[in-house]
Chain A
């Protein structure tokens, strides 16, 4: 009996190690590849949005000059019909991808968040609609960076 249990535990451990069985908490998806990317281009590649076309349907509201890079308010909405997701990429941050949201029926493609910016940078917002990716860019100047210290 004891022997059997050991075997079962061993098999379970092997499955865990192989990543086949994940602890329940780890089930939520987090796109490690995209978030670990060190350039905006790689981040977008990681999101499957390597090719984008510019769109005036995306609105980015943010201060022109953010005095405190630790808290930069950015408000985003997409007027592109059928928008299902929005990603925020801060080009000059060490890890450019800041956030990504999926919106299903019942939610409007809108989000307001506070982000940290290490230095003055373009902020790219990518909206996905009908399998296509649209982009809008806005520069935010930062007086005091907010990623370290």
Chain B
């Protein structure tokens, strides 16, 4: 089962570093005898505007952790990361840039 997410967004060197953790088993076809279970889509939004769209496969490790880098940014900017898996389950988390 998919669980909670954690995210941190901090200003560093004039940009915003985003680190996000997703709780998901990310099972491969080999592990599941042909019924893989994995996140397929990831979206990163800044103040409601999508800036990164990711498509991922079952080759991403269990409980995926991603780091992204956003141009500029300011304290208090709202960062939202959401995902959608191949069974239609979704989750999202939001944080303000610190």
Say whether A107 contacts B44, CB under 8 Å: yes
- Please, which residue of chain A has its CB at the minimum distance from the CB of B15? A108
**Which of A71, A100, A111 interacts with B55 by CB under 8 Å?**
A100
Interface residues of B in 1-26 (CB under 8 A from A): 15
Picked from B41, B43, B69, the residue with its CB within 8 Å of the CB of A110 is: B69
Note all chain A residues with C-beta closer than 8 A to B56.
Answer: 98-100, 113
Q: Does B28 sit at the interface, judged by CB under 8 A?
A: yes
| B54-A100 in contact (CB<8A) | yes
Question: Scoring B residues 61 to 97 as 1 if CB is less than 8 Å from chain A, else 0, what string do you get?
Answer: 1101111111100000000000010001010000000
Residue of B nearest to A104 (CB): B51
> B55–A31 contact, CB under 8 A?
yes
Kindly list chain A residues whose C-beta atoms are within 8 Å of the C-beta of B50. 104
CB contact between B64 and one of A29, A31, A113 (< 8 Å): that residue:
A113
Say if the beta carbon of A127 comes within 8 Å of chain B.
no
Chain A positions near chain B (C-beta within 8 angstroms): 23, 25-26, 28-31, 35, 70-72, 75, 77, 90, 93-95, 97-108, 110-117, 146-149
| Chain B interface residues toward A at CB < 8 A | 15, 28-31, 40-41, 43-44, 46, 49-62, 64-71, 84, 88, 90
